[in-house]
């Protein structure tokens, strides 16, 4: 089935979609808090948060054990009538109450387009879809690979339907029971699809780029401003003639501020404003599909 045959309000898609992977975005981690709020983090930020969480639990466990005379620095035991196993269980319950297990699931997004030679394509033009793959811990960081043919079974139209910002681009969701199956394809047929290979642009190359385009850009770090109180952080990059300010969420990426002079590549960011004639500065936004590479 081609994307052109999918209805925006169709719910579950009974047939298998035949698509080409145009972009594969980095794996993200979504944590659901006790109050129902959700926080999305990059892999690096999730690693930092997980380590801090484990350290807090370990420190609290040590305190609880010492209070019961079981810690490494304790010489006496309280509640002598209780066994060591019972005291440890009490301590574990106390720690679990104060620091409950985190509810975190892996996910990633990919942008796909119609496979050109699918027999049931309804139109000659290609339709695109942004697909969110949930419970994605079994995938490698670059799978499915960009520029490959993929058959998707068990997808559904997300509650957002189509993206108002991207014309007729569909929003699809794929759960743990769905199947993603790479299929061999003739490279010449792939070349006829809407897929195009990545091209990393310099800051100066963005001068003639259209607003709203998704780009990969490389520049030299020349300043960083960390957002406070929910404000976005800003990474400043310089080219030979132009400057670029890249806004991003500290909640998603953490404090990524590289040292000035570091070569930085920002993948999957969006141009939001062309160069200001006075400051010679252009502006980009890196949402949660972006990726920062430092070399």
Q: What is the spatial distance between Cα 76 and Cα 198, in angstroms, rounded to a whole number?
A: 65
Are 211 and 272 a contacting pair, CB within 8 Å?
A: yes
Structural domain for 25, as ranges: 3-29+105-191
* Separation in Å, CA 123 to CA 13, 130, 169, 263: 19, 19, 15, 44
Looking at residue 5, the DSSP 8-state letter turns out to be G
Give me the pLDDT at residue 186, please. Answer: 92
* Separation in Å, CA 209 to CA 65, 212, 238: 61, 9, 17
Give me the pLDDT at residue 259, please. Answer: 93
Give me the pLDDT at residue 165, please. Answer: 44
Give me the pLDDT at residue 99, please. Answer: 87
Give the relative orientation of helices 84-98 and 43-67 as an angle to the nearest 10 degrees: 140
Same domain assignment for residues 92 and 154: no
Low-confidence ranges of the chain (pLDDT < 50): 74-76, 161-165
Q: What CATH number corresponds to the domain at position 131?
A: 2.40.50.140
The contacts of residue 224 (CB under 8 Å, 6+ apart) are 233, 234, 235, 236, 257, 258
- What is the domain count for the chain? 3
Same domain assignment for residues 125 and 249: no
Mark which of 163, 191, 219 sits at the end of a domain.
191
């Amino acid at each position: 089935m081609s994307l052109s045959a999918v209805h925006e309000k169709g719910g579950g898609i009974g047939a298998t979609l035949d698509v080409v992977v145009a972009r594969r975005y980095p794996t993200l981690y979504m944590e659901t808090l006790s109050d129902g709020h959700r926080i999305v983090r990059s892999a690096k930020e999730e690693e930092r948060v997980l380590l801090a969480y484990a350290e807090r639990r370990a420190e609290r466990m040590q305190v609880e054990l010492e209070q019961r005379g079981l810690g490494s620095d304790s010489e006496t035991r309280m509640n002598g009538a209780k066994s060591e196993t019972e005291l440890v269980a009490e301590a574990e319950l106390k720690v679990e109450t104060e620091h409950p297990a985190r509810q975190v699931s892996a996910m990633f997004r990919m942008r796909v387009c119609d496979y050109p030679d699918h027999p049931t394509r309804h139109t000659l033009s290609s339709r695109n879809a942004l697909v969110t793959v949930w419970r994605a811990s079994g995938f490698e960081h670059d799978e499915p690979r960009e520029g490959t043919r993929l058959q998707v079974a068990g997808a559904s139209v997300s509650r957002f339907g189509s993206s108002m910002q991207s014309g007729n681009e569909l929003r699809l969701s794929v759960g743990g029971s769905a199947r993603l199956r790479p299929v061999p394809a003739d490279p010449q047929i792939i070349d006829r699809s809407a897929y195009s290979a990545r091209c990393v642009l310099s800051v100066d190359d963005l001068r003639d780029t259209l607003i709203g385009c998704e780009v990969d850009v490389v520049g030299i770090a020349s300043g960083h401003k960390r957002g406070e109180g929910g404000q976005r952080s800003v990474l400043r990059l310089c080219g030979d003639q132009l400057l670029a300010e890249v806004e991003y969420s500290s909640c998603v990426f953490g404090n990524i501020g590289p040292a000035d002079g570091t070569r930085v590549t920002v993948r999957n960011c969006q141009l939001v404003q062309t160069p200001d004639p006075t400051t010679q500065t252009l502006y980009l936004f890196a949402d949660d599909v972006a990726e920062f590479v430092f070399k």
